[in-house]
Amino acid sequence: MSLKLSVNLASEPFRRTRAMLVASGAVAVLLAGMLALLITLSVAETGQAAQVHQNILRLEAQMRTLSAEQSRLEAVLRKTENAEVLDRSLFLNSLLYAKGISWTRLFDDLEKVLPYNVRLIQIRPQVNSQNQISLEMVVGADSSEPVIQMLTRLERSPQFGETLIHNRMPPSQSDPLLRFRLSVNYAQKL
pTM for this entry = 0.48
Length of the chain: 190
* CA max distance for the chain: 126
**Which tens digits make up the pLDDT trace of 107-123?**
888 898 898 899 999 99
Asked if 139 and 119 count as a contact pair (C-beta separation under 8 A), the reply is yes
Residue 134 CB neighbour total at 10 angstroms: 16
Q: Quick one: which of 101, 122, 118 has its CA closest to 186?
A: 101
Asked if 175 and 140 count as a contact pair (C-beta separation under 8 A), the reply is yes
CATH number of 102-186: 3.30.70.2830
Q: Does 97 score more than 90 pLDDT?
A: no
| Residue 190, pLDDT score | 47
Across residues 153-181, what is the average pLDDT? 87
Q: Where along the chain do its domains lie?
A: 23-78, 102-186
Q: Quick one: which of 80, 76, 146, 83 has its CA closest to 114?
A: 146
